[in-house]
Amino acid sequence: MSLLRRRKPINESSDSKPLLEKEEEQHHQEDHDEDDNDDGNGKNKKTPSKIRKERGEKPPSPPPPPPQSKWSCLDTCCWFIGCICITWWLLLFLYNAMPASFPQYVTEAITGPLPDPPGVKLKKEGLEAKHPVVFVPGIVTGGLELWEGRECAEGLFRKRLWGGTFGEVYKRPLCWLEHMSLDNETGLDPCGIRVRPVSGLVAADYFAPGYFVWAVLIANLARIGYEEKNMYMAAYDWRLSFQNTEVRDQTLSRIKSNIELLVATNGGRKVVAIPHSMGVLYFLHFMKWVEAPAPMGGGGGPDWCSKHIKAVVNIGGPFLGVPKAIAGLFSAEAKDIAVARALAPGFLDNDIFQFQTLQHMMRMSRTWDSTMSMIPRGGDTIWGGLDWSPEEGYSCSKKREQKNDTQITDQAGAENAVCKARSVNYGRMISFGKDVAEAPSSEIERIDFRGAIKGHSAANTTCRDVWTEYHDMGFAGIKAVAEYKTYTAESIVDLLHFIAPKMMARGTAHFSYGIAENLDDPKYKHYKYWSNPLETTLPNAPDMEIFSLYGVGLPTERAYVYKLSPHAECSIPFKIDTSADDEDTCLRDGVYSVDGDETVPVLSAGFMCAKGWRGKTRFNPSGIRTYVREYNHSPPANLLEGRGTLSGAHVDIMGNFALIEDVIRIAAGASGEELGGDQVHSDIFNWSEKIKLQLDDDTPAHSSR
């Protein structure tokens, strides 16, 4: 800017020339530039000389032209920064002086009047706070803070390591990793490190500044009169296995005592529990724990749940696990990471943590027992075998058309489903190579990996201190894994046992992934079965209601195409084959997707409420009523809406107005019937039909294909 301004007069002078002599003109311009600078200098120097004159002194001999060019650059820089700072401050000032309602005003001017937030709307209808509310946050979204750390974490006492700004991740990444990891053997704190969950509503209202999780729901509940005394955030350390939260922090006891307190101080009104994501499984565990007798359980007695809980409103619940968890455990990548990796190969492998980001991530996340709670449960019966899957015939083109025109969707979807000969084998959750994923099962040659000798590990010594169990596997083991070609839900558990025996040994002590044949078997009294809905019975609470609220209409990871990683040493030997694409079969970047909320497939979120617990089944002996409420995803109309009020995505759904309205109505006393019963957009009932799960008590027969 300044240069240009200075040049203006020069242009005026030099432009007095025909256009043809441009070259010369440029010469001149340069000359004059210097002239001009000199000129300016003269001026600068003039002022002191004038002063001297006034004082009656002799003017000194004309000074040699100082090296102006150097200075002017610095000066202009300074000047420029100054300008920026000033405008910045001005804008800041304006922003602060701006009335708080201004952004809303602008939004309304552009998009038309906004609908009232559900809290306001329902308050006008006369709804009031009635039942106390308990929030159970999911994995990852809860904040964790440091209570005791190594030297490198000095000054971080009671600061958030997880959640908040994540500033420390960039400042001291290795230190951060060390503190976030748990002990490899016990799944509890490493020596000398105590990282604890943040307590209170602040634990998970915002995950990062501006990225709400529970905040919108809390704000809307507050409108109808909720406050701290009738809201409770059951924050827990989401890295631990569920029973370990009780062993280490007595979290389950705290939740029990707090629920009892809420019921007692709110005039005996029962609690509405609202778990989200993994919190759903955690609360399932809690309901079993609280009624179990003392040493292992909470000793609440057999009717504790019916006495204290009015409804369990599960939001985006991965009852039957999430395929994403497999990819996470298998190769520390999900769709997003795999795509990022494909875009910038080498970046993730080299930069942020000096070396091997993914390996570090994998090492850390494998110490977290909780990730193992999300491994798909129910095996082939639920998730489908080699040639069969409940979602068979689902077409992804549905989704694309939805964007264009919603009206013809149903017809088109139906047509597609009929005419499509080549349906996706969702049951093969991991396949090595695209051809394997598509070939009929008879053509696949599989060599069983289970007995394979792992061979001695070649990589161990060179790989610095990054340790994942892959280094113990050796090449033979890796080859064996790849030669088995394709894995279904059941064999995946075996696969994980094979590639990460220590982790799974720790995990299977706390979680189980099967289907119970006989629920009265005394072995099911063990806590490792409590969070698996297919291996526990619901508590005896006929007045309770269970809701399953989740978003649909987003492509959700369901199965993966893998390949062997080319550089075998010191790295994770498998990765998602992002080159595998198929227009017709929902295959994109090596991932088969299906309907869901971007994280949890419909099947996992809806099956239990749609079929497994519907009516009086062996999993639900007291006939607790269940309701499925689906929310169709529609993306935010414009940027001003932020994450949208109609979103169906796994976390963003917590800001979905329709969902919030339902939750508030339930909290204010409405039953599922009053809410309108089921609200289904997806094919969940069809899919559930296809699952042959035995639900009656009498004949314990295993049914799997």
Partner 1 sequence: MASILRFRKLYYVEQAVKCSSVGFESLDQSPKIDQKLDKKEEDVISANNLALGINKRKRAKEWRCIDSCCWIIGCLCTTWLLLLLLCHCWPVTLLRVPELPGPGARLKREGLTALHPVVLVPGIVTGGLELWEGKPCADGLFRKRLWGGSFTEIFKRPLCLLEHLSLHYETGLDPPGIRLRAVPGMVAADYFAPGYFVWAVLIENLAKIGYEGKNLHMAAYDWRLSFQNTEIRDHALTRLKTKIELMYITNGYKKVVVVPHSMGVIYFLHFLKWVETPPPIGGSGGPGWCAKHIKAIMNIGPAFLGVPKAVSILFSAEGKDASYLRAMAPGVFDSEILGLQTFEHVLRMSRTWDSIVSLLPKGGDTIWGNMDWSPEEGHVCDFSKKSHSQTSLSDNNVNNSDVKRGFRVKDLAKYGRIISFGKAASVLHSSKLPTVDSKEFSRTSASLNFNISCGDIWTEYDEMSRQSIQNVAADKAYTSTALIDLLRLVAPKMMRRAEAHFSHGIADNLDDPKYNHYKYWSNPLETKLPDAPDMEIYCLYGVGLPTERSYVYKLSPSSRCKSIPYKIDSSISGEENSCLRGGVYFADGDESVPVLSAGFMCAKGWRGRTRFNPSGIATYIREYRHKPPTSLLEGRGIESGSHVDIMGNSALIEDILCVAAGATGYEIGGDRIHSDILRMSERINLPL
Contact between 294 and partner 1 by CB under 8 A: the answer reads no
Three-class secondary structure of residue 662 per DSSP: helix
How many residues lie near partner 1 (CB under 8 A)?
64
Among 71, 105, 147, 347, binds partner 1 (CB under 8 A): 147
Q: How far is the CB of 580 from partner 1 (least distance, A)?
A: 44
* Contact positions with partner 1 (CB under 8 A) in 10-29: 11-21, 24, 28
Please state, in angstroms and rounded to a whole number, the distance separating the CA atoms of residues 571 and 331. 10
- CA 141, chain centre distance (Å): 8
CB under 8 Å to 383, separation ≥6 — which residues? 320, 376, 389, 390, 426, 427, 429, 488, 489, 603
- Binding segment for partner 1 (CB under 8 A), chosen from 211-219, 300-308, 612-620, 687-695, is 211-219
Please report, as a single letter, which amino acid is at residue 256. Answer: K
Contact between 265 and partner 1 by CB under 8 A: the answer reads yes
Three-class secondary structure of residue 333 per DSSP: coil
Q: In the complex with partner 1, which residue's Cβ is closer, 76 or 634?
A: 76
Note if 671 is an active site residue: no
Among 26, 34, 63, 80, binds partner 1 (CB under 8 A): 80
Q: How far is the CB of 114 from partner 1 (least distance, A)?
A: 15
Of 181, 277, 331, 647, which is the active-site residue? 277
Q: How far is the CB of 197 from partner 1 (least distance, A)?
A: 7
Q: Cβ(348)–Cβ(636) under 8 Å? A: no
Q: How far is the CB of 698 from partner 1 (least distance, A)?
A: 42
Q: In the complex with partner 1, which residue's Cβ is closer, 147 or 347?
A: 147
* Contact positions with partner 1 (CB under 8 A) in 363-382: none
Among 26, 30, 38, 40, binds partner 1 (CB under 8 A): 40
Among 92, 261, 447, 458, binds partner 1 (CB under 8 A): 261
Among 42, 65, 66, 82, binds partner 1 (CB under 8 A): 82
Q: Cβ(594)–Cβ(490) under 8 Å? A: no
Contact between 408 and partner 1 by CB under 8 A: the answer reads no
Backbone angles phi, psi at 664, to 5 degrees: -65, -40
Among 52, 53, 124, 194, binds partner 1 (CB under 8 A): 194
Please state, in angstroms and rounded to a whole number, the distance separating the CA atoms of residues 147 and 156. 9
- Binding segment for partner 1 (CB under 8 A), chosen from 253-261, 322-330, 434-442, 623-631, is 253-261
The single residue listed with the structure tokens 């088969």 is 592
* Contact positions with partner 1 (CB under 8 A) in 223-252: 223, 227-229, 249-250
* Contact positions with partner 1 (CB under 8 A) in 667-686: none
Kindly state the DSSP code that residue 332 receives in the 8-state scheme: S
Q: Cβ(430)–Cβ(492) under 8 Å? A: yes
Q: How far is CA 211 from CA 164, 263, 660, in A?
A: 10, 31, 17
Please state, in angstroms and rounded to a whole number, the distance separating the CA atoms of residues 250 and 245. 6
Among 218, 503, 609, 610, binds partner 1 (CB under 8 A): 218
Q: How far is the CB of 654 from partner 1 (least distance, A)?
A: 16
- CA 24, chain centre distance (Å): 63
Burial group, residue 45, by CB count within 10 angstroms (0-12, 13-18, 19+):
middle
| Cross-strand bridge partners of residue 554 | 596, 597
Q: In the complex with partner 1, which residue's Cβ is closer, 154 or 443?
A: 154
Tell me the two tokens of residue 48: 């002191």
Contact between 696 and partner 1 by CB under 8 A: the answer reads no
* Contact positions with partner 1 (CB under 8 A) in 92-111: 100-101
Burial group, residue 609, by CB count within 10 angstroms (0-12, 13-18, 19+):
buried
Please state, in angstroms and rounded to a whole number, the distance separating the CA atoms of residues 60 and 46. 11
Contact between 50 and partner 1 by CB under 8 A: the answer reads no
DSSP class per residue in 166-227: -HHHHHSHHHHHHHH---TTTSSPPTT-EEEE--SGGGTSEEETTEESSHHHHHHHHHTT--
Among 201, 342, 482, 695, binds partner 1 (CB under 8 A): 201
* Contact positions with partner 1 (CB under 8 A) in 148-187: 148, 154-155, 157-158
Contact between 442 and partner 1 by CB under 8 A: the answer reads no
Of 471, 571, 650, 683, which is the active-site residue? 650
Q: In the complex with partner 1, which residue's Cβ is closer, 78 or 414?
A: 78
Contact between 132 and partner 1 by CB under 8 A: the answer reads no
Q: How far is the CB of 82 from partner 1 (least distance, A)?
A: 3
Q: Cβ(284)–Cβ(243) under 8 Å? A: no
Of 189, 349, 595, 597, which is the active-site residue? 597
Please state, in angstroms and rounded to a whole number, the distance separating the CA atoms of residues 64 and 83. 32
Among 45, 121, 150, 260, binds partner 1 (CB under 8 A): 260
How many residues appear in the chain? 705
Q: How far is the CB of 611 from partner 1 (least distance, A)?
A: 39
Contact between 78 and partner 1 by CB under 8 A: the answer reads yes
User: Whose CA is closest to 246, among 279, 295, 280, 308?
Assistant: 295
User: Whose CA is closest to 37, among 67, 11, 14?
Assistant: 67
User: Whose CA is closest to 373, among 539, 243, 190, 538?
Assistant: 243
Q: Cβ(530)–Cβ(285) under 8 Å? A: yes
Contact between 301 and partner 1 by CB under 8 A: the answer reads no
Contact between 120 and partner 1 by CB under 8 A: the answer reads no
Contact between 33 and partner 1 by CB under 8 A: the answer reads no
Contact between 85 and partner 1 by CB under 8 A: the answer reads yes
Note if 597 is an active site residue: yes
CB under 8 Å to 59, separation ≥6 — which residues? 49, 52, 53
Please state, in angstroms and rounded to a whole number, the distance separating the CA atoms of residues 396 and 412. 11
User: Whose CA is closest to 482, among 427, 564, 410, 426?
Assistant: 564
Note if 456 is an active site residue: no
- Binding segment for partner 1 (CB under 8 A), chosen from 83-91, 325-333, 387-395, 405-413, is 83-91
Among 92, 174, 264, 414, binds partner 1 (CB under 8 A): 264
> Which residues here bind partner 1, judged by CB under 8 A?
2, 4-5, 9, 11-21, 24, 28, 32, 40, 43, 75, 77-83, 85-86, 100-101, 147-148, 154-155, 157-158, 194, 196-197, 199-202, 205, 215, 218-219, 222-223, 227-229, 249-250, 253-254, 257-258, 260-261, 264-265
Active site residues per annotation: 277, 597, 650
